[in-house]
Amino acid sequence: MSCPEWRDRINAYVDAELPPSDMAAFRAHAEQCAACAAGALALTESKLAVRRAGNRYTASAELRARMLSAAQGQDLAEAKAEPARIEPEKHWTGLERFTSGMWPRWALAAAALLLITVGLFVANRRQESKTLAEFADLHVAALASANPVEVISTDRHTVKPWFQGRIPFTFDLPELQGSPFSLLGGRVAYFHQEPAAHLIFQYQRHLISVFIFRETSQIALPASVADQTSSFRLRTWTQGGLRYVVIGDASDGTIQQLAGLLHFTQ
Amino acid sequence: MPLFDSLYNFARWLTRDESEAEDLVQECFAKALRGFSSFTPGTDFRAWMFRILRNTFLTSRTGLRAKLTQSLEEDEAEGESVAVTWETPESFALASATRDALQAALERLPAEYREVILLCDVEEMKYKDIAEVLSVPIGTVMSRIARGRKLLRQALAGERKQSPASAGKVDER
């Protein structure tokens, strides 16, 4: 598929709405094409910005309490409930219509609570794979771009000072001599509008990205995630107020090893 | 109460009024409860709730008024390319926009684009669920998303050109 054809489908890619084979094909294309990779990255970042801006309103504590007690009220009503009456709908008052009908009262009580409180698990799961995809996108887009790193150096004493003034925190880099990893360099990336140090390491022929940023809002991610479709693996932890994310297509053990090196240097 | 929070946020964007949004959410839950048996297991529950909320809004006074003044821009835009243009600062204007600027731009967006973008980006709904909420074909969802994002980018890029104070930020990139 050519660039113009991909560009028509880039929104669907960013929304993870392409069929899995096309998702993989776009990733492969983006690894070769800096323009499409940059485009996908810009759109991904835009999507994140819109998500943050769109989550604008919070219900008042009063409304929240009212809704919950209404739902629990269903429960109380159930204790004193008469059997549901079967009458033509037109004779029902609003409240009766609310609490009777085809469903027994206990089921309505359960439904009321479910209606108001359901979705947490689903929402979290979605968030988790989304966050992995965001880091995978940053990783792939950087590797595909014409200048994957802004400071090209294998020397940690060059890379670390380069970040001074570019990011609002500091961190330490591990001594890699004797380890199977080498440092290729670094760049500044943005995650949820927060500047992040993006370091690129090499392990054999695999490139691994490390992102370090201040965690201003908690990100929903377990310590270790593997994405079945893209084969990326991720390790993450927080340390000294900073969030560390290690992501790459190397084996889980390798990612873990690099994560360990970084962890014990801080 | 994540579903409640999402519905309330969406209701505020629709009504742009706190007490109207509160009424809307309460009515939505009451309707959902009454019609719980009409929910088809296996379909997306959130989409079902958002659909009830939006339909309730559309039959409210504010909703009816909004419907009457809805723009015809979508028809006019047919055939126009919505492909992302990368090599311009426009494509980055959105990512680096401040939250306030982005909220203002979202507010100015025609309602049919705003709702689709909120459902897709904020609620992270799948296209097929958005189609269900809005009762439109999936192709319409896709074209509205593409065009809505383009309009947002243009609005923010235009704003940057006009405001020299924030222009420096783009150049630093």
Task: Answer yes or no: do A77 and A197 share one domain.
Answer: no
CATH number reported for the structural domain that contains residue A137 in this entry: 3.30.200.100
Cβ pair B121:A54 closer than 8 A: yes
Cβ pair A46:B25 closer than 8 A: no
pLDDT band for B144, please (50, 70, 90 cuts): very high
Task: Answer yes or no: do A44 and A72 share one domain.
Answer: no
A contact test, residue of B36, B118, B141, B159 with most A CBs within 10 A = B36
- Segment B110-114 shows an average pLDDT of 93
Q: Which of B88, B84, B95 has its CA nearest to residue B161?
A: B88
Asked if this assembly's ipTM is beyond 0.85, the reply is: no
Angle between helices A34-54 and B99-108 (to 10 degrees): 80
CATH number reported for the structural domain that contains residue B57 in this entry: 1.10.1740.10
The pLDDT, as a whole number, for residue A74 is 54
Pick from B109-123, B125-139, B144-158: least confident = B144-158
B130: containing domain: 71-173
The two three-digit tokens of residue A224, written as one number: 């270790």
- Segment B99-128 shows an average pLDDT of 93
Q: What is the DSSP string of A9-50?
A: HHHHHHTT-S-HHHHHHHHHHHHH-HHHHHHHHHHHHHHHHH
Sheet with A194-203, edge to edge strand ranges: A151-152, A181-191, A194-203, A206-214, A242-248, A233-239, A224-226
Task: Answer yes or no: do B168 and B116 share one domain.
Answer: yes
- Closest residue of chain B to A123, computed from CA coordinates: B2
Task: Answer yes or no: do B98 and B55 share one domain.
Answer: no
Q: Quick check: B114 pLDDT over 80?
A: yes
Domain limit, last residue, from A57, A76, A100: A57
The pLDDT, as a whole number, for residue B35 is 77
Pick from A19-28, A69-78, A141-150, B144-153: least confident = A69-78
Q: Are strands A242-248 and A206-214 parallel, antiparallel or unpaired?
A: antiparallel
CATH number reported for the structural domain that contains residue B87 in this entry: 1.10.10.10
Q: Which of A222, A246, A220 has its CA nearest to residue A232?
A: A246
The two three-digit tokens of residue A1, written as one number: 């598929």
Q: Quick check: A76 pLDDT over 70?
A: no
CA distance A149 to A185: 6
Pick A88 or B115 by higher pLDDT: B115
Task: Answer yes or no: do A80 and A138 share one domain.
Answer: no
Q: How far is CA B23 from CA A63, B33, B59, in A?
A: 10, 15, 13
Radius of gyration of chain B (CA): 18
CB A131 within 8 Å of CB A219:
yes
**Residue A198: Cβ within 10 Å count:** 26
Q: Quick check: A122 pLDDT over 60?
A: no
Q: Does B120 touch chain A (CB under 8 A)?
A: yes
The pLDDT, as a whole number, for residue A151 is 82
- Give the tens place of pLDDT for each residue, B35-93: 777 777 667 788 988 999 999 999 887 777 776 565 544 444 444 555 555 545 555 66
**Up-side HSE of residue B89: CA atoms within 13 Å toward CB?**
18
Mean predicted lDDT score pLDDT of chain A? 76
Q: What percentage of chain A reaches a pLDDT higher than 90? A: 15
Pick from A15-24, A165-174, B7-16, B77-86: least confident = B77-86
Task: Answer yes or no: do A39 and A66 share one domain.
Answer: no
CA distance A183 to A208: 10
Pick B158 or A91 by higher pLDDT: B158
pLDDT band for A100, please (50, 70, 90 cuts): very low
CA distance A133 to A230: 9
Query: CA A207, A140, A230: angle at the middle one, nearest 5?
Result: 90
Task: Answer yes or no: do B60 and B95 share one domain.
Answer: no
Q: Which stretches of A104-189 are DSSP H helices?
A: 105-117, 120-144, 156-162
Task: Answer yes or no: do B55 and B130 share one domain.
Answer: no
Task: Answer yes or no: do B58 and B82 share one domain.
Answer: no
Q: DSSP 3-state assignment of B44?
A: coil
Task: Answer yes or no: do A2 and A16 share one domain.
Answer: yes
A27-63: string of b/e by CB count within 10 Å (b at 16+)?
bebbeebbbbbbbbbbbbbbbbbbbbbbbbeebeeeb
Q: Does B167 touch chain A (CB under 8 A)?
A: no
- Segment A20-33 shows an average pLDDT of 85
The pLDDT, as a whole number, for residue B20 is 93
- Segment B133-154 shows an average pLDDT of 92
pLDDT band for B15, please (50, 70, 90 cuts): very high
The pLDDT, as a whole number, for residue B45 is 81
A contact test, residue of B121, B130, B140, B153 with most A CBs within 10 A = B121
Task: Answer yes or no: do A207 and A133 share one domain.
Answer: yes
CA distance A172 to A116: 46
| Beta bridge pairs of residue A101 | none
Task: Answer yes or no: do B79 and B149 share one domain.
Answer: yes
Domain count, chain A: 3
- Give the tens place of pLDDT for each residue, A179-211: 899 998 899 988 877 889 999 999 988 889 999
A234: containing domain: 126-265
The pLDDT, as a whole number, for residue A116 is 56
Domain count, chain B: 2
Domain limit, last residue, from B69, B93, B125: B69
Domain limit, last residue, from A57, A73, A95: A57
